[in-house]
Amino acid sequence: MKIFPAIDIKDKKCVRLVKGDFDNKTEYEISPVDQAGKYKDHGFKNLHIVDLDGALIGETVNFDIIQEIVHKYNLKIEVGGGVRTIDSIKKYIDAGVEKVILGSAAIKDKNFLKEACQKFLNKIALGLDAKDGYLSVSGWKENSNQLTLDYLKEINDFGASRLIYTDINRDGMKQSPNFEETSKVADTSNCPVIISGGVSSIDDIKKAKTLKKNIEGIIVGKAIYDGDIKLEELAREIDA
């Protein structure tokens, strides 16, 4: 089970949103680069970064910060937020990012996802953000009227190397992830799945570890920043 501590970047700061609402955000004093260093110091190997500015406008706004994190620390980093073109994907991969997360652009244009998976083998992660079973896009501002599992069946053979499933109703709420729905997604998905949204305590990590083998890891965000999960205890759950 891989553990992905999260860094969400907005206005060059670490922030956390509640249910993806940009008007309901908490800013933290620590810079994204220093926060990444903290994770590195505690022994984490993986990192989940979202460029929230990018997600809103569809461009790689915080590329410089992310590039600095990549160069400074030897971490396996997955990055999402505003990646809408092949050039943006290439830019991140050239910078040393392990996987680029495609969300809105992949849902709105399946051919874009297919092309990206073919061009960048094992480098594309698919980010599926769902609310009540339906996919949301554009920084969760729009509902796509598409059922998550229906979409997944359509693109399952495209070659994505990872799937990040977020239940928006749980995100930032610290009410535990939607393990049931994530398990359904993992049953359907041809690639390994990452659990995202709602992690509230170390018990959620322990429960995630008991789930079926197609679940690769879990993302932890707000619970770290708010002190509900201490980095020391989370680090003990890292697989050797």
**Among 239, 182, 237, which residue's Cα sits nearest to residue 215?**
182
Catalytic residue, chosen from 8, 51, 53, 204, is 8
> What single-letter DSSP state applies at residue 210?
T
34 is an active site residue: no
Residue identified by tokens 């060059």 is 12
**Among 153, 160, 84, which residue's Cα sits nearest to residue 120?**
160
Within 169-209, strands assigned E span 193-196
8 is an active site residue: yes
Catalytic residue, chosen from 51, 53, 129, 171, is 129
Q: What are phi and psi of 73, to 5 degrees?
A: -125, 140
Residue 166 tokens read as: 């977020």
Catalytic residues: 8, 129
